[in-house]
Amino acid sequence: PHTMPGEEAVDPYTVDPSNAGARPFNGDAMARAFHGQDGIRRIVDRFVASNFADPRIGEIFTNQDRIRLKRTLFEQFCYILNAGCAYTGRDMKAAHKNMGVQQNDMNRLVENLQAAMGAEGVAFAAQNRLLAKLAPMRKVVVER
């Protein structure tokens, strides 16, 4: 499904695992390090809330569909961490098109993600392994 109840309509797109922008980890070590789907849910909720409330990048999120973002980000992280989910959202290029995201916005977003992972008690080594999966996405998210 492209949208779930409570979400705004989006233009049609093809659902594909590759839309997640990274291949999943093997095995269950990363899923355990993030405390499973419950832990990933807590991290995503905190991360999304902090981005919307952020004095530096919050403006980019204003008027965006927070319900959908929480769902698709959860799916994406859960999929990449091999915690038992499929990613059904858009690809990273389409999702961030014409948003004008700059490198410093990306840095700030990563800081918010680090804070959310830290609050969940995710070990630094595991945090960094996820961040390494996300880092190459900068090339399609950041527009100059």
Burial class (CB in 10 A: 0-12, 13-18, 19+), 124: exposed
Block residue for tokens 């961030």: 96
CA–CA distance, 88 with 85 (Å, rounded to integer)? 9
Q: How far is the CB of 120 from ligand HEM (least distance, A)?
A: 17
* Chosen residue from 44, 81, 101, 122 binding ligand HEM by CB under 6 A: 101
117 binds ligand HEM (CB under 6 A): no
78 binds ligand HEM (CB under 6 A): no
Block residue for tokens 């594909």: 16
141 binds ligand HEM (CB under 6 A): yes
Q: How far is the CB of 109 from ligand HEM (least distance, A)?
A: 4
Block residue for tokens 């998210």: 141
Q: How far is the CB of 114 from ligand HEM (least distance, A)?
A: 13
CA–CA distance, 126 with 45 (Å, rounded to integer)? 19
Question: Hey, what are 58's tokens?
Answer: 């919050």
Q: How far is the CB of 36 from ligand HEM (least distance, A)?
A: 20
69 binds ligand HEM (CB under 6 A): yes
Segment interacting with ligand HEM, rule: CB under 6 A, options 29-37, 40-48, 71-79, 120-128: 71-79
CA–CA distance, 62 with 95 (Å, rounded to integer)? 15
Segment interacting with ligand HEM, rule: CB under 6 A, options 24-32, 36-44, 62-70, 115-123: 62-70
